[in-house]
């Protein structure tokens, strides 16, 4: 699956590359804490990226009744070398999905919702209308619920991007994932065009907050990262997450470096100094990790 925008999906708890995991990445999973949310989601019949990706933060997030919904199925039409989601030809669209998402939001009592999707190159609008419908279903139930969308590139279609930018979501994210030199890990993606996605979203709705993410440890250096952070600021993207890349299997792109938590802190401080408004930066940070905090801090 290509989920360029899905840092969440690729950072799984199984690390099978040759390098030994440092102690700061040996996070314990408490399955009992996840159970209630897992049962609720199963009853409603909705996918979460948390489960599809076996996200290492699942116990923590589910115990706080936080989850990131994954719409448009669980099969992706691309195949990025860092991503663990199934690749293939997905089947149609579940027309009942927007209501299911809204039901799940109510069932979990969420005040802030994060919705993402697999990449759907088979759909004319890349799935944009399904995002729009999900936001409408949630806002129809309770307008005060804030919504964050983490979108694929929607094949860089300006109309699709504009529809999503203006659908009522407070935040729309698209992940850069890595620096331009390493973009070969993102099959079918292009660094400049990904930046263009963020630029187009902001152009279509200047009031919208845009967000992006980097996975670190693929071999980028500090100067390259700094340049990419500036690239984001230049397109007025001011919400940012940075986390450690973990290879899902030996067949995936290899981890080049395990970055020390201290360094993550430094990068986070650097980003704030550069002008980002909200930054989360730590080894286990994922695109959607504690995303509600942006609104809590406002
Ligand atoms: S970090 Fe995001 S993907 Fe991972 S469990 Fe939390 S909400 Fe789900």
- 223-273 tens-digit pLDDT: 999 999 999 999 999 999 999 998 888 888 899 999 999 999 999 999 999
Q: Is the pLDDT of residue 8 over 50?
A: no
pLDDT at 20: 77
Return the ligand 1 atom nearest residue 114 CA. Answer: 7
Cα-to-centroid distance, 90 and ligand 1 (Å)? 23
Give dist(CA 187, CA 36) in Å, integer.
Answer: 36
Contact 156, 121 (CB under 8 A): no
Cα-to-centroid distance, 60 and ligand 1 (Å)? 9
pLDDT at 19: 65
Model confidence at 16, pLDDT cuts 50, 70, 90, reads very low
Per-residue pLDDT of 103-122, as tens digits, reads: 999 988 999 999 999 889 89
Cα-to-centroid distance, 288 and ligand 1 (Å)? 6
Q: Set out the domains of the chain in order of their start, with CATH numbers.
A: 7-297 (3.20.20.70)
| 11-25, 124-138, 141-155, 232-246: range with lowest mean pLDDT | 11-25
Check if 50 has its Cβ closer than 6 Å to any atom of ligand 1. Answer: yes
Tokens 């959607």 correspond to 288
Give dist(CA 10, CA 215) in Å, integer.
Answer: 9
Give dist(CA 274, CA 269) in Å, integer.
Answer: 9
Check if 84 has its Cβ closer than 6 Å to any atom of ligand 1. Answer: no
Q: Is the pLDDT of residue 6 over 60?
A: no
Mean pLDDT of all residues belonging to the chain: 89
Burial of 109 (C-beta count, 10 Å sphere; 0-12/13-18/19+):
exposed
Q: What's phi and psi for 8, nearest 5 deg?
A: -55, -40
Alpha helices in the chain (DSSP H): 7-10, 31-44, 49-52, 58-63, 97-108, 128-141, 158-165, 191-204, 222-234, 261-274, 293-297
Per-residue pLDDT of 60-100, as tens digits, reads: 898 888 899 999 988 888 877 777 777 888 888 999 999 99
pLDDT at 5: 39
Nearest CA to ligand 1 atom 7: 67
Bin 202: left if φ > 0, else alpha if -120 < ψ < 50, else beta.
Answer: alpha
Structure tokens that stand for 99 in this block: 């209501």
Q: Is the pLDDT of residue 211 over 60?
A: yes
């Amino acid at each position: 699956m290509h989920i360029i925008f899905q840092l969440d999906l690729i950072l799984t708890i199984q690390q099978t590359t040759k390098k030994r995991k440092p102690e700061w990445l040996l996070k314990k999973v408490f399955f009992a804490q996840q159970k209630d949310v897992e049962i609720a989601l199963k009853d409603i019949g909705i996918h979460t990226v948390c489960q599809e990706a076996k996200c290492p933060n699942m116990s923590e997030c589910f115990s706080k009744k936080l989850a990131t919904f994954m719409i448009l199925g669980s099969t992706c039409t691309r195949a990025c070398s860092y991503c663990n989601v199934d690749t293939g030809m997905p089947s149609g669209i579940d027309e009942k999905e927007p209501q299911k998402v809204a039901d799940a939001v109510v069932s979990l009592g969420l005040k802030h919702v994060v919705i993402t999707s697999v990449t759907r190159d088979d759909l004319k609008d890349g799935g944009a209308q399904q995002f729009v419908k999900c936001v409408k279903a949630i806002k129809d139930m309770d307008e005060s619920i804030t919504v964050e969308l983490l979108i694929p590139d929607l094949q860089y279609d300006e109309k699709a991007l504009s529809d999503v930018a203006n659908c009522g979501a407070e935040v729309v994210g698209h992940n850069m994932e890595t620096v331009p030199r390493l973009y070969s890990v993102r099959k079918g993606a292009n660094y400049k065009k990904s930046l263009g996605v963020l630029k187009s979203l902001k152009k279509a709705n200047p009031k919208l907050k845009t967000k992006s993410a980097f996975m670190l440890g693929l071999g980028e250096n500090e100067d390259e990262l700094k340049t990419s952070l500036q690239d984001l600021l230049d397109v007025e993207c001011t919400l940012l997450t940075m986390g450690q890349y973990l290879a899902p299997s030996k067949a995936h792109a290899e981890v080049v470096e395990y970055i020390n938590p201290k360094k993550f802190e430094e990068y986070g401080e650097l980003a704030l100094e550069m002008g980002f408004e909200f930054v989360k930066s730590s080894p286990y940070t994922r695109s959607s990790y504690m995303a509600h905090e942006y609104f809590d801090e406002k």
